[in-house]
């Protein structure tokens, strides 16, 4: 063999257990980590189909939907965005994106890739949209699809969605929503709010491992997908065939790809945990932790990047970097000294803000208090520019 085994793989795999209070992923509970270590199952085994069915029911609960085309795709959250757009966009379709940070920008790029004519509404970073603004944009752009991010983790902005679906449907437009960083911590009612496509992150409030992404399509969206003139251009994300493997459509489970039983088990347990707690309790817990965090940040003299308290995302709090503070040094020291992750900005907010995440398993008062105490220490004297 010309290429020999690399010595770096000769060392044992070892790293510390960190407390992940950045914008995600969050820590998995011991129960979820244990589920990840269960023996491998084949993708067509009876037990696997049962776990998939249970996951579907769990996802219907967290999205509050009865949609039959509800499943988890074998990809990161970003794959969810890809799956929504590649299935709902046909070349020439008009897509309107309400941008308020990085994710909207990504959606524009993806929609363009699928041949959409894309227009966007833009707002200054740190703000969300009123329903009136969105309706005006729909009226002027006449899109086939409106793409909105409920929780923009890159800015820490929360976008209210109630009544938006009705408005979209009045103008014959579908509504797609990214809830990657918000679901489970803020209200979301897919059916009642008439949302047509949604996906969320496994590794945020659900505290499941990354790599598997809950997704759901309304009857309206399903009709659009099944009546496309052209096939969705990505076979891997094609809901016509993925939906068959998941038993959502048709009567026979047809092999599409090898679903990872490890990730299925992890997600199944994470969904079981949120079902046991109940979404209302999960939201309450996140709200209380967020208030505790916000009170603490104010005591430290820190300011919020999002001015309007109603527009602040409870899962990701964005903080203006105070003058004279080296935030990079704060995040690095927190990580190296305390095994604590605190986030910086991302995309358009890089260098502008710090970000603290409160998600799922980590949303506990003692974690907030620990984070605040570390932040206080580091701000005091150590992390000046």
Tokens of 265: 């088990």
Q: What is the largest CA-CA distance in the chain?
A: 66
- Cβ atoms 230, 92 nearer than 8 A: no
57 vs 162, beta carbon nearer a copy of itself: 57
Closest CA to 230 of 148, 70, 116, 141: 116
Shortest Å distance, C-beta 235 to a copy of itself:
5
5 or 132: CB nearest a copy of itself? 5
Least distance CB 44 / a copy of itself (angstroms):
9
Min separation Cβ 240 and a copy of itself, Å: 12
Q: Closer CB to a copy of itself, residue 128 or residue 218?
A: 218
Nearest distance in Å: CB 146, a copy of itself:
20
> Was 220 annotated as part of a binding site?
no
Report the nearest approach of a copy of itself to the CB of residue 43 (Å).
Answer: 7
Smaller CB separation from a copy of itself, 300 or 329: 329
In angstroms, what is the minimal distance from the CB of 326 to a copy of itself?
A: 18
Of 110 and 168, which CB lies nearer to a copy of itself in the complex structure? 110
Structure tokens at 41: 């199952």
- According to DSSP, the residues that pair with 13 across neighbouring strands are none
CB of 62 to a copy of itself, least distance (A): 9
Residue 30 or 324: the one with the smaller Cβ distance to a copy of itself is 30
Minimum CB separation from a copy of itself for residue 175, in Å? 19
What is the three-state SS of the chain? CCCCCCHHHHCCCCCCCCEECCCCCCCCCHHHHHHHCCCCCCCCCHHHHHHHHHHHHHHHHHHCCCCCEEEEECCCHHHHHHHHHHHHCCCCCEEEEEECCHHHHHHHHHHHHCCCEEEEEECCCCCCCCHHHHHHHHHHHCCCEEEEECEECCCCEECCCCCHHHHHHHCCCEEEEECCCCECCECCCCCCCCCCEEECCCCCCCCCCCCCEEEEECHHHHHHHHCCCCCCCCHHHCHHHHHHHCCCCCCCCCCCCCCCHHHHHHHHHHHHHHHHHCHHHHHHHHHHHHHHHHHHHHHCCCCECCCCHHHECCCEEEEECCCCECHHHHHHHHHHHHCEECEECCHHHCCCEEEEECCHHHCCHHHHHHHHHHHHHHHHHHCEC
Q: How many CB atoms lie within 10 A of CB 227?
A: 7
> Which of 114/217 has CB closer to a copy of itself?
114
Closer CB to a copy of itself, 53 or 303, in the complex = 53
19 CA to centre of own chain:
19
Min separation Cβ 359 and a copy of itself, Å: 11
Cβ proximity to a copy of itself: between 45 and 284 the closer is 45
Beta pairing class for 69-73 and 213-217? antiparallel
Which residues contribute to the annotated binding site for substrate?
355
Which residues contribute to the annotated binding site?
355
């Amino acid at each position: 063999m010309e290429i020999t085994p690399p010595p770096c793989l000769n060392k044992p795999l070892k790293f510390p257990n960190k407390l992940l209070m950045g914008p995600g992923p969050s820590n998995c509970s011991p129960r979820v980590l244990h589920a990840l270590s269960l023996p491998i199952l084949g993708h067509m085994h009876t037990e696997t189909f049962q776990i998939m069915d249970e996951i579907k029911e769990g996802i219907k609960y967290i999205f509050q939907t009865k949609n039959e085309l509800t499943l988890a795709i074998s990809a990161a959250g970003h794959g969810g965005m890809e799956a929504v757009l590649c299935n709902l966009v046909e070349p020439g379709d008009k897509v309107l994106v309400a941008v308020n940070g990085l994710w909207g920008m990504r959606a524009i790029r993806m929609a363009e890739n699928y041949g959409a004519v894309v227009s966007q509404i833009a707002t200054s970073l740190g703000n969300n949209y009123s329903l009136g603004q969105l309706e005006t944009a729909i009226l002027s752009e006449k899109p086939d699809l409106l793409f909105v991010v409920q929780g923009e983790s890159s800015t820490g902005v929360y976008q209210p969605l109630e009544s938006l679906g009705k408005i979209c449907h009045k103008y014959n437009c579908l509504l797609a929503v990214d809830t990657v960083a918000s679901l489970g911590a803020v209200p979301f009612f897919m059916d009642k709010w008439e949302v047509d496509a949604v996906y969320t992150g496994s590794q945020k409030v659900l505290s499941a491992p990354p790599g598997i992404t809950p997704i759901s399509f309304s009857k309206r969206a399903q009709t659009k997908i099944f009546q496309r003139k052209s096939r969705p251009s990505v076979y891997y994300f094609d809901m016509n065939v993925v939906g068959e493997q998941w038993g959502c459509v048709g009567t026979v489970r047809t092999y599409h790809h090898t679903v990872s039983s490890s990730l299925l088990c992890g997600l199944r347990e994470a969904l079981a945990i949120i079902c046991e707690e109940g979404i209302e309790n999960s939201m309450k817990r996140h709200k209380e932790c967020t208030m505790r965090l916000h009170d603490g940040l104010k005591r430290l003299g820190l300011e919020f990047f999002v001015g309007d308290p109603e527009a602040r995302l409870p899962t990701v709090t964005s903080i203006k970097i105070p003058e004279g503070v080296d935030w990079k040094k704060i995040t690095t020291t927190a990580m190296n000294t305390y095994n604590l992750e605190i986030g910086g900005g991302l995309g358009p907010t890089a260098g502008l803000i710090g970000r603290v995440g409160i998600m799922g398993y980590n949303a506990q008062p003692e974690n907030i208090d620990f984070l605040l105490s570390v932040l206080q220490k580091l701000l005091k004297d150590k992390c000046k520019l």
